[in-house]
Amino acid sequence: MAWIATEGNAFNHATDRVDDVEAVAEAQKSLGRPMKDTVEVSGSGRVRQTAFRATQVMRDFVDAGGATVTRPAPGSFYEFITRMPMTDEKTGRPRLDLAFDSSNAQGIFKMTAAAGADR
């Protein structure tokens, strides 16, 4: 809700599917880019994702007394995901695991909530 309250219906994040998210994360870190500390792994182990840390942006809010106060809020971010193959239960053929794992999403939410806290 913080995103919608401050940014409206604007770009929040983009996701790039890559072959090896761990290698991408290490390469980005070696370039000095602000990556999350960890790669999130789904319960099945087949979906792995990480992201650049969200940059803090300053936004105006209204406090309890009605005064405008400027506070930091997480900005948009870019994430990387690797989706491993699995066997389709109905056809027996291999396919990518396209499941959404809410625990991975929670990791991203925590990262954006604390975007400026670890700098």
118 located within any domain? no
**pLDDT on residue 101:** 60
* pLDDT of 63 strictly over 50: yes
Cα four-point dihedral sign 111, 112, 116, 117:
negative
* pLDDT of 108 strictly over 60: no
Domain count, the chain: 1
* pLDDT of 84 strictly over 70: yes
The CATH number linked to 28 is 3.10.180.50
119 located within any domain? no
**pLDDT on residue 116:** 46
* pLDDT of 60 strictly over 70: yes
* pLDDT of 112 strictly over 70: no
74 located within any domain? yes
Average pLDDT, the chain: 82
First to last CA, the chain: 24
Could you identify the residue written with the tokens 């209204």?
Answer: 62
Backbone dihedral angles phi then psi of residue 90, each to the nearest 5 degrees? -80, -40
Structural domain range at position 28: 2-113
